[in-house]
Amino acid sequence: MSTEPPALPDAADRRQAITTPDHAFVWASAGTGKTHTLALRALYLLLNAPFLSPPEGEAVSLSAEIGSLYSASSRQERLKAARAIIGSLILTTFTRKAAAEMQTRLFRYLESVTAAESLSHLKATYVGSQAKVKDPLFYEIVQTVLKNLESGSPGQDMPVSAGLDEEKSFHRFQAGAQALSEQAAQLPISTIHSFAASILRRHPLQAGIPPTARFAREDEDDLVGVEDQVLERWWQQKVLADPQLQNELAQLLQVVPVRHIREWLKYSYRFRWMAEESEALPLKNEKEMQDLVDAGYALVRALAAGGGPKIVRERDRLDQILQGITSSEKGTLTELCQFIELVKSYFFLDKTTTKAIRLAIQALPPEHSRYFQSWTDFYVPVVRHCVAKEYGEIWTVWTGFLGRFIDWAEEAAMRELGLITFDEMIRLAVKLLEGDSSIRQAEQAKLLEGDSPIRQAEQAKLRALLVDEFQDTDPDQLRLFKALLKREPNAPHEVLGFFVGDPKQSIYRFRNADVRSIEDFQLHYERDTGCRLKHADFQLTTSFRSVPAVTRFVNHFFEKKLELPDYK
């Protein structure tokens, strides 16, 4: 009887994700081994670099350098090849801790190869029922490299292991792995902000970075108080010196206190998307407003049978406000907004525990009940109508005031404080790779026109970009990935993309992470990157962290919310 464990249901996807010659998206729930898959993909690209077909347009000298990892007779030549291979791969993670963990995993894999007494010893360590660490996919990568040593790499006159027995071939493989291990600390594994900063450090002049500017660090207090300092500079240098801004501020102060204006400006500086969405907030749609009022009246009627004192009180208050709106009484839309916020845990199906209210909502026709599933279903459109109807003029003043602040605040931390914040690292790197002349002095404009030479330089040495926690990517970060992967129609060089993520774990919406954007990127990958190689999608569905009862619950709970594979 075989003592080998049964194959995993998603074994084929795991294997293909690691070894695919194409671009790839790997969707993996928590506990399914996505970090393991990402590490093995990186390891596969490192160990097999001499045998992978070099990207068209890659410098001949670079291809020859990489190809000598296993064939070179001297240690110095192997180290030179290892440095070129290490520099051809970039891996971004979400935190420095995750980057350090990935670096450690790869180093351990390489060390396990170099420390093995023999190939059979390595196999016994990772494969079979008696294996100390069961990792058959790692051993498959080793076997792939050894087969490639026997068959040769593109452009080689003779296979590296020609005429060598298995153990000598394995020792040749170990020598190459040792060179990679010695260079592993140089592997570009970092957060996306650190990666963007590395691009800017290589091209500070073209990015317009002052010599005295410093980059924010995750382990320091550089960013403490930055928003307040930027806002204070704006207040002193612009508002107090500009009659138009002073006039706009005076109009705003008639409606809201100055502390709220400062807070809104501060949040808009931190989350730039808020300024963009502010312009689209007012909504003048009388039909939708009438639908909201009709839905409110429908709920009042459904609760007419009575109930406890609180139901009667809140029902009558809602009825009174709706009548005021119907009679076009000034301020009633504002009252409705305030009322809905007060009863958000009472009058809506997702929060209420009151049986009479639940039954009343469930009895409403769909065109009315849809507004009472969650309080935001009612509140958001009411606020938009309220802004348009009761605060339309002052909102126009506010968006103009906010827009001028955002324009001024662009790169303000670098310009005013000598500090490049994390968000500015991303934006500056994107502009640099896209060849945006707005970030350079006039005499530099010609340098980066059209297809950015800086992007060409960054791409030329790069074979693959691997991205972890892809579900937490925001639009600016996505632009950075697109800029690095972009292949112009007549350009021969193509950088492979490899993305690992899980839409269910996207928890950074408050930082503008956007699942819809990454799904659109996946759907239109060829269009957005101009790649010639296809992209493939893989699903990791076997959970190593949860018992079957938990995975069944997750499948059941999310099946109506997200389109998911059947996790095991």
Q: Give residue-wise pLDDT tens across range 147-198.
A: 988 886 544 544 655 556 778 889 999 999 999 999 988 888 998 999 999 9
Paired tokens of 55: 């990207």
Q: Does residue 267 register a pLDDT over 90?
A: no
Paired tokens of 168: 């000598």
Helical H runs in 254-372?
A: 258-270, 273-279, 286-302, 309-326, 332-342, 355-363, 366-369
Q: Does residue 20 register a pLDDT over 90?
A: yes
Q: Does residue 510 register a pLDDT over 70?
A: no
* pLDDT score of 54: 57
Of 229-233, 379-383, 511-515, give the lowest mean pLDDT range: 511-515
Q: CA triplet 545, 546, 550: central angle to 5 degrees?
A: 160
Q: Does residue 122 register a pLDDT over 50?
A: yes
User: pTM of the full predicted structure?
Assistant: 0.76
Average pLDDT over residues 53-60: 53
Let me know if 206 is exposed, middle or buried by CB neighbors in 10 A (0-12, 13-18, 19+): buried
Interatomic CA distance for residues 243 and 241, integer angstroms: 7
- pLDDT tens per residue across span 466-499: 999 888 888 889 999 999 999 888 777 889 999 9
Q: Does residue 74 register a pLDDT over 70?
A: yes
Which pLDDT band, with edges at 50, 70 and 90, does 459 fall under? Answer: confident
* Closest-CA residue to 498 (of 141, 171, 71, 16): 16
